[in-house]
Structure 1
Amino acid sequence: MGQINVVTQRSLPAPPDRVLDLAADYAGTRAQLWPENITDYQVLAGGKGPGTRISYRLHATKKRIRDVAAEVSAPDAQSLVEADQNSTLRTVWRVRPEGDGSHVTVMTTWTGAGGVGGFFERIFAPIGVRKLWTAVLDNLSARL
């Protein structure tokens, strides 16, 4: 078992506070940013920023589906952390100034499985997770 880290980055043409505001709007904007491999998305508590609780089903493959129940925190003014309460899965959003816009980094980490299954997880899971966050950032960019 080892730590798996997947990083997706993007420059966006909007100030950091606008980008973070949209990313933290779990009841509104975020619900519209998910690609098709996220289903059953719900806001369980809150809806905006820290203290929000969300759930969804992540379809990694046709047969591999992960139920996520995440709680949102904001360790600083430039970050959001979505921590799954069912596993070690954590996604950290960092939005920093870059010229006239923003630089967004989305990093997802989790403790992978061991053995042969873990070997394939370390190879293929990052591809799917990167594709997920690339789609979310594409959709976010289109809203700016």
Structure 2
Amino acid sequence: MSEILVVLERDVVAPPDVTFDALADYSIMRPKILPEQFTGYQVTAGGTGEGTHITYDLHATKKRVRHVEAVITEPPAGQQLLESDTRSTLRVLWDVAAAPAGSKVTVKITWQGAGGVKGFFERTFAPGGLKKIYGAKLDQLQQQIAQDAP
């Protein structure tokens, strides 16, 4: 088994605090930015930032569905949100930093991949699928922030 890492970045035309607050809002904003591959999304505790608990099904492919039950923490290193699946090694780290256009959002997705032949295929194909899914989520974030701007 080896760790699999997927990293995406997007510039968001909004100040870092606005972008972070949007990402930390798991009750209202997050459902608005979920692509179709996320189903059954629910906030089961909290709703904003640290201490929030969420659950959803991630449809990585038509046949591959992962049920996620995540707890949200805010690491002390800046404006970050860490979504840790309590049922697996899946971790999604959202980082918001200042950028010339407003904010830069970096999302890092990690998990311990399978070994052997199954692991080879997972390392080969999963990163591309997750880049597409989370890229759509980042695009929706930008659109929603722009739409909600006064």
SS at match of 1:117: helix
Q: Distance in 2 between matches of 1:89 and 1:124?
A: 16
Gaps of 5+ in 2: 146-150
Describe how 1:94-133 pairs up with structure 2 within 5 A: 94-133=95-134
1:85 is aligned to 2:86:
yes
Gaps of 5+ in 1: none
Q: Distance in 2 between matches of 1:137 and 1:100?
A: 15
Q: TM-score, normalised by structure 1?
A: 0.97
Runs of 4+ in 1 over 6 A off after TM superposition: none
Q: Distance in 2 between matches of 1:91 and 1:54?
A: 13
User: Identity over aligned residues, as a percent?
Assistant: 52
Superimposed CA distance per residue, residues 9-66 of structure 1 (whole angstroms, 9 cap, x where no aligned partner): 0011111110010001000000111111110000000011100000000011111110
Superimposed CA distance per residue, residues 62-113 of structure 1 (whole angstroms, 9 cap, x where no aligned partner): 1111000000000124100000000000000000001250111000000000
Q: Distance in 1 between matches of 2:101 and 2:75?
A: 24
Q: TM-score, normalised by structure 2?
A: 0.94
1:12 is aligned to 2:8:
no
Describe how 1:131-142 pairs up with structure 2 within 5 A: 131-142=132-143
Give the letter for the 2:59 counterpart.
H
Give the letter for the 1:137 counterpart.
L
SS at match of 2:26: coil
Paired residues, number = 144
2:28 alignment partner in structure 1? 28
Quote the RMSD (CA, aligned, Å): 0.8
